[in-house]
Each structure stands twice: as C-alpha cells, then as structure tokens.
Amino acid sequence: MNTVWILLMVASVLFSFLNGGLDAFTKSIFEGAKSAVEVSLFLLGIVSLWLGITKVIEDSGLIHRLSGFFQYFVRRLFKNIPPEHPAITSITLNFLANLFGLGNAATPLGIKAMQDLKALHPDGETITFEMMLFIVVNTASIQLIPFTVIGILADYGSKDPSAIVLPTLLATFLSALFALGLLFAVRRVLK
Amino acid sequence: MKTVSLISQLIIPLFILFTILYGWARKVRVYDCFVSGAKGGVGVVVRVFPYLLAIFVAVKAFQASGAFEFAQGLLRGLLGVFHVPIDVVPIALIKPLSGSASLGVFTNIVKTNGPDSLASLISAVIMGSAETTFYVLAVYLGAVGIKRTRYLVPVCFFADLVGIIIAISIVKFFFHLG
C-alpha cells in the first residue's frame, strides 16, 4: 500500500503542475478528506448496527445453525483456522452478504472477520496468509445478481437488462478462481 | 426479474426478524446484547478512519490532477488493438479505486452509448464482477492495523487486471458484437 500511495500522490502533484493547475490538487485533497469523513460517518452507523445484530446471532447460538454448506466450504478453504473458531462464522456471513449483493452488511461483517483472523495472531503487524485469502475472495466480488447495474440499464431503456446476469456471474466466478489460483501460486513460489 | 428483486428486498428484514425472534426464544436479552455488540462499532470506525482518509485523498487528487486522463490515454492505444470500445477505459480504471465514482462513470457510458451497446454491456459486467479493491484493502487492513502486506497488493492488482480482461472477453463471446 505504501508504494501505491506514494505513486498516486506524487503523480497527482506532478500532473497538476504540468497541467498548470496546482490549486486543483489542493482543492481535491480537501474534497477527498471531506468524503472520507462522510463515508466514515456512514460506516459508523452500519458497522455498529451489524455488529449489534451479529452479537445477537452469536449469543443466541443461531450461528451454529446458519449456513451449513457455506461453513463447510469456508472450512475447506481456510484449512488452518480451527473449525470452531469465530472467524469461520464471520467469514461465512461476509461471503453470504457479498453473494446477495448486500454491500452494506458485507463490509461490517468483513471487518469482524478480519478482527477474528487477527485474534489468531494477536501481536503481528504482518498479514497472515488467511487474511490475504479472505481479502482476495472479497476483492473478486462474488455476487449473484448485480441489482444496481441492471437498474441503471433498465432506466435507460435496455431491451433486456437482465441479459448481463449470466455473463457477470461467469466473469465473477472466473476472476475469483484466477485470483485464488494466483495467490496460492505466489505462496508456493515464495516458499 | 420481479421475483428476484422481491427476494433481495426481503432478505434483510426477514433475517433481522428471524435473528431477534430466535434470540428471544433462546432467552437472550436481545436489546442489551445488540447494544453491547454495537458498542464495538465506534472503535472500528475510528481505527479505520486514517486509512480511509489516505486512500480517498490520493484517489481524489489522482483524478483531479489529470494523471487519471493520462493513464486512460495510455490504455486507449492498447485497447484499440483488440477492438475494444475505448469508452470502457474509464470504468476499468476507476472501478478498483472508487465505488461512487465508478457508478457515475457507468451511468455516463450508458447514457452516451445507449444501454445495448458493446461499451455499456462490457462496463456493466465490469461493474458487477470487479470490486473497489483499494477501498476494501484500506478498510480491512486498517481495521486490524496490518502494516506489512507481503504480496497481497500486487496479487490484487494483477487479479483486477485479468478480471477486466476476462469481463471483456466474456461479453464479446456472449453478445457476438464488435
């Protein structure tokens, strides 16, 4: 992330200068700061809300009844996590939320999953393979039906807005497979 | 489509209702339990905030400075070779960086090219199959204070790139356009 950030910032100042608009750079960083605050306020609400709900799910024991199949899949994927560890549950819930396109629920559950993964290695500042695995699956954005996109296509008078569902699913699935394969391949090479 | 969107509308309310009733049946103090869980939210957001700030500032500056347009120009030449509409360039570049900006860009592509054009279809599939990678990285890594990310960022970056190529190929295959 360090390299990415330095690249973005240095390129921005350089290009603003070349385009003769250094004031545009200054304006944009304040705008960026403002939207960070707006997004955080939004996050504060939904993260707290979903953490509250997940606590009820945990304390009532509902967690043990939820999503048997996915839990099985998650256990197979994350072999190094003890099967009864809370991380398995939060990862499962996050994947399910992503699958149904519930972005607002997926992020808070994902944060919880990261914290549960961290609990397995409490004092490290270095990322674990399980965390990488979890993030890679998340950035592949596995989603069954892209509602927002279909909505926009329909708004502008598409003949068949849902025609993109199958190609999207296939693209998501293939790119997720590729990302996972790449992650495992890099681990093998670096070992 | 109607039934599908109806189901998606029902998921959250039904899920919450079920959770509450289940907790109540199991004699859990649901209200106190909810509040004690929600308390953790503040800490999480406070921890994530500086990371979010860093990424939002950098992305905004990158867009405003003209560096983004320059990168688009580079990609245009490349995509022309493969008969891919140049209008998909902005979406391919902005999707990993910003969710709200990519939605705006997507709407604009649909508006200017028409909803059934190749550019719109490709953009639609990219929208649905790619994630705002850098936002996810900032939030998830920030939440647990990870500093050394090993090979995660290059893997995500390369996977995004291939994901976009996959999206373009699939649309070309499915719709026999272009």
- What letter represents residue B159's amino acid? A
Residues 6+ apart with CB under 8 A from B162: A175, A178, A179, A182
Q: What is the pLDDT along chain B (178 residues), one digit of tens a residue?
A: 555 556 656 777 888 899 899 999 999 999 999 999 899 888 888 888 888 898 889 888 988 888 888 888 887 777 777 778 888 888 888 888 877 778 888 988 998 899 999 999 999 999 888 888 888 898 899 889 888 889 999 999 899 999 999 999 999 888 865 4
Check if B54 contacts A (Cβ < 8 Å).
Answer: yes
Contact call for B114 and A156, based on CB within 8 A: yes
Question: Quick check: A16 and B65 in contact, CB under 8 A?
Answer: yes
pLDDT at A29 over 50: yes
Q: What is the pLDDT of residue B140?
A: 92
Q: What is the pLDDT of residue B178?
A: 47
Mutation test of the interface with chain A: which of B2, B6, B45, B169, choosing the one with the most A Cβ atoms within 10 A? B45
CA distance A135 to A128: 11
CA distance A6 to B54: 11
Q: What is the pLDDT of residue B2?
A: 55
CA distance B123 to B132: 14
**Distance from the B89 Cα atom to the nearest Cα atom in chain A, whole angstroms:** 17
3-state class of B118 per DSSP?
helix
ipTM (interface predicted TM): 0.81
Q: What is the pLDDT of residue B55?
A: 83
Q: What is the pLDDT of residue A84?
A: 81
- What letter represents residue A83's amino acid? P
Contact call for A139 and B133, based on CB within 8 A: yes
Contact call for B70 and A15, based on CB within 8 A: yes
Question: Quick check: A59 and B28 in contact, CB under 8 A?
Answer: yes
pLDDT at A148 over 90: no
From the list A35, A56, A118, the residue facing B34 with the nearest CB is A56
Work out the average pLDDT over A105-129.
89
- What letter represents residue A159's amino acid? K
Q: For residue B139, give Cα distances in angstroms to A34, B87, B98.
A: 17, 30, 13
From the list A48, A101, A175, the residue facing B129 with the nearest CB is A175
Residues 6+ apart with CB under 8 A from A145: A101, A165, B4, B8
- Closest residue in B to A144 (Cα–Cα): B128
**Cβ contacts (< 8 Å) between B124 and chain A: which residues?**
146, 149, 153, 164, 168
